[in-house]
Amino acid sequence: MKQRQATLIMAHGAGADSQSKFMQFMQQTIDDNNIEVITFDFPYMLRRQQTGKKSPPDRMPRLIESFKKEIAKIPNKNFFIGGKSMGGRVASMIADEVETKGVICMGYPFHPPGKPEKTRTEHLHSIETPTLILQGTRDTFGKPQEVSKYQLSENIKIEWLEDGNHSFETLKRSDISTEQAWTLAANKAKAFIQSQLERI
């Protein structure tokens, strides 16, 4: 089988694994004849699956190590990394080091809900890798009025999904449904990948 032009490695968020409805939708919608999408589970999530017991996420060094191991398995030089919430955060932290073509963060956890002073943005001030952040306007981990005040690298592009929460779920009175918001996010991710491939 012919190798596709790009590979996207996507990591899950803190609470749900790679088989969640959100992750599966994104994988199936972004994956096409040109882009291969690969998902994986962090070690703590594998333990949770095996034991049936909830366990907190691994510490950041372990998450980073795990993500790098997945990258090492990919033969495609044109690879992108990203993920949902925590998964996207880990990807953004290793992006410059692993020489990925781009990062896609879906629902970036700019700060814990209700604690806007505890920002997780330090490395985003200087990231050199092209980065797309897809964020719902109702996301309690970072709303437009908060994020607009951050000093972020010029290499970061933020696309806002109207009425979306941390998982891009919309309201009943919203102009678009949750599935439409998810499709829009997936299409924005695909367009971002294509735009970066055209620069190679």
CATH code of residue 28: 3.40.50.1820
The predicted structure's pLDDT at residue 1: 57
Range of the domain at 59: 6-197
- pLDDT tens digits, 46-58: 999 999 998 899 9
Residue 61 covered by a domain: yes
Residue 188 covered by a domain: yes
Average pLDDT over every residue of 42-68: 96
Is 29 in a helix, a strand, or coil? helix
Residue 1 covered by a domain: no
- Say what percent of the chain tops pLDDT 90: 96
Average pLDDT over every residue of 123-133: 98
Is the torsion defined by CA of 137, 129, 123, 36 positive or negative?
positive
Count CB neighbours of 67 within 10 A.
Answer: 22
Domains held by the chain: number: 1
Average pLDDT over every residue of 172-182: 97
Residue 172 covered by a domain: yes
pTM of the model: 0.96
Q: Does residue 181 carry a pLDDT above 90?
A: yes
Half-sphere exposure of 116 (CA within 13 A, CB side): 11
Q: Does residue 188 carry a pLDDT above 90?
A: yes
Beta strands in 69-155 (DSSP E): 79-84, 102-106, 131-136
Q: How confident is the model at residue 2 (pLDDT cuts 50, 70, 90)?
A: low
Residue 130 covered by a domain: yes
Residue 170 covered by a domain: yes
